[in-house]
Amino acid sequence: MLSSPFIHTKRSTPWVMQQVALALMPAIVTSFYFYGWAVLSNIVLMIIACLAFEAFALTLRKRSLVSLGDWSAVVTALLLAMAIPPAANWWLIVVGAGLAMLLAKHLYGGLGLNPFNPAMVAYVVLLISYPVQMSQWIDPAQSALSLSTTLDIALFGSPIDQYTGATALDAVRHNAGLTISQLAEQNPATAWGAPHHFVSLSYLLGGLYLLARRIIFWQLPIALILGVLVAGVFVYDGSSESALSPAMQLAVGGTLMGAFFIITDPVSSPTTTNGRLIAGAFAGVLIVVIRHFGNYPDAVAFAVLLVNLCAPLIDYFTLPRTYGHSKAKRATDE
């Protein structure tokens, strides 16, 4: 080392990424319990594809392949693999990985320079381009998929026998005249205890681990959850026009995954303490608003991307006051 400081924490960026991957394990295990090998095929294929695209991009940009070992591509792969329907076709995965690594990451200059969360960019583009494939969730109520069936579906495109009925968010969107409690009786996805609630719970568990390890800061997830709850109150009255209950809003549609693993992606989120509070709350409100008034029920991805878009602005308006200064400066001040 050439100059001070001569000591550093043992924390490294690869280590941070590994911790995030580790924190995703509960959710992966729970999903595996419900969906079987279908989940693992997504993950394995996605990791291979993401690493391949990352290597390709690094080679094109004449960068050292050493940064393949920073684990950032693996984390993106895990998040995207968990966000798309299990046992997704290999080509869907390859397209998704390409979008995440090339379009959302390396086009902007690679790790640290992407203004948007790569997994969410890929997810949204896939959702818009392949709405059918992106909504075909196998039915977790049936027994979990075996390895051979999974491979048949993912690699050779065999059709899936059993899809779920409408997801909770879809059910609410297409709700024709039922109150929320009637809806819950008719569609178990909108009632407490559905499989995705357990998956959500596992994200919460992983998120708490990250919080305890001080890898993510509490402001983003807590503000997001509060944002969802508060906004949720305004659109919930239990009637046929109502949205899901605020608590249910948290438990479905990847809200908790978004709160602990997506919005907390440091690269694309605001950096200041107050900025993180604002961004989290904004994302939470947006999730509810998009779900209730928007065209896509998968609001988390859109909300996150919108907040990413605002991150520089939020940072700009929440610059901290430096020691000894009477007020915070703006970057445009002299």
Partner 1 sequence: MIKVHTIPGGIHPETHKSMSNGSAAERIPTPDRLWIPVSAGLKYESEPIVNVGDSVKRFTQLTQPKHAFAVASHSPISGTVAAIEMRSVVAMPERQVLMIAIDNDGNNESERRAPMALDELSGAQILDRISRSGIQGQGGAGFSTQIKIAASKQVTHLIVNGVECEPYITADDRLMRDYSDDIMLGIQCIAKAMQLTQITLGTEDNKPQAFEAMQNAAAAANINMQWGVVPTKYPSGSEKQLIQLLTGQEVANGKLPADLGILMLNVGTLAAIGRAVVHDEPVTERLVTITGEACERPGNYWVPLGTPIDALQTFAKDGAKAQWIQGGPMMGVRVTDTTAPITQVTNCLLIQPAVKSTSEMPCIRCSACYEACPMQLLPQQLLWHAKSNNEQKLKAHNLFDCIECGACDYVCPSDIPLVQYYRAAKDELRAAESDRVRSEHARNRFEQRQARLERIEQEKIAKREARKKAAEAKKAAKQVDSDTTTSDKPKAGLLAAAMAKAETSKAPALSAEKLTKQVSNLEAQLIHQQQLLEEAGDDEKRAKIDARIKNTRIKIDQAKAKLASIDDQEQPNA
Residues near partner 1, by CB under 8 A: 1-9, 11-13, 15-16, 66-67, 70, 72, 110-113, 217, 266-267, 269, 271-272, 315, 319-326, 329-334
In terms of CB distance, is 9 or 295 closer to partner 1? 9
How near is the Cβ of 292 to partner 1 at its closest, in Å?
32
Q: List, in order, residues 6 or more apart from 8 with CB less than 8 Å away.
A: none
* Contact by Cβ (8 Å): 154, 89: yes
In terms of CB distance, is 132 or 331 closer to partner 1? 331
User: What's the CA gap between 246 and 182, in Å, rounded?
Assistant: 17
In terms of CB distance, is 111 or 251 closer to partner 1? 111
Q: How far is CA 213 from CA 70, 216, 311, 332, in A?
A: 19, 8, 24, 36
| Angle between helix 118-129 and 299-317 (nearest 10) | 140
In terms of CB distance, is 7 or 132 closer to partner 1? 7
* Contact by Cβ (8 Å): 127, 301: yes
How near is the Cβ of 106 to partner 1 at its closest, in Å?
12
How near is the Cβ of 61 to partner 1 at its closest, in Å?
13
How near is the Cβ of 110 to partner 1 at its closest, in Å?
7
In terms of CB distance, is 45 or 223 closer to partner 1? 223
How near is the Cβ of 196 to partner 1 at its closest, in Å?
30
* Contact by Cβ (8 Å): 274, 222: no
* Contact by Cβ (8 Å): 158, 152: yes
